[in-house]
Amino acid sequence: MLLRSVLAVLVGGALGTAARALLQEAIPEWWLLLAVNALGSALLGVSVAALADAPAWVRHGIGAGVLGGFTAFSAVAVASVTAAASTGGFATIIPALPGILLALGMLALCLLAAWGGLALGHRLARGRAA
């Protein structure tokens, strides 16, 4: 069973990472990182609730695999540090402010998306059980 979960995470991670890379190539905009992470958080919320009764390897493959590969928190960390190190605008007054605002904004956006996704997933699961 563990091997099946590991393989599901490996395959799912490759698929999720490829999907994000394709989006980044197609839409090279700064806000895409926000959109990808918010969408991934919402989909993870949906999958946690909607797939609660699915086999563990399916939950692992979709959650840690596909959606873990799709989202990119490390990219947010790099973007935050880059924004904090910039030398224009507010960065000359308060060097860390842009990076801090980006990180906090991403956290708030993803928490709201995960909450909404979880609520939607519970609703979908109840509809399926009825």
Q: Delimit the domains of the chain by residue range.
A: 2-129
- Binning pLDDT at 50, 70 and 90, where does residue 95 land? low
Q: Quick one: CA torsion of 98, 104, 107, 113, rounded to 10 degrees?
A: -90
Residue type, 129: A
Average pLDDT over residues 99-104: 80
| Whether 43 contacts 16, CB under 8 Å | no
- Half-sphere exposure (CA, 13 Å, Cβ side) for 3? 0
Instruction: Mention every residue, 6+ apart, whose C-beta is less than 8 A from residue 116.
Output: 42, 45
Greater model confidence, 118 or 103: 118
4-35 residue pLDDT tens: 999 999 999 999 999 999 999 999 887 888 89
Q: Report if pTM > 0.95.
A: no
Average pLDDT, the chain: 86
Residue of 39, 30, 28, 14 lying closest to 109 (CA atoms)? 39
Q: 3-state class of 15 per DSSP?
A: helix
| Whether 48 contacts 121, CB under 8 Å | yes
| CA 110 – CA 73 distance, rounded (Å) | 10
Residue 89 pLDDT greater than 80, yes or no? no
Residue 99 pLDDT greater than 90, yes or no? no
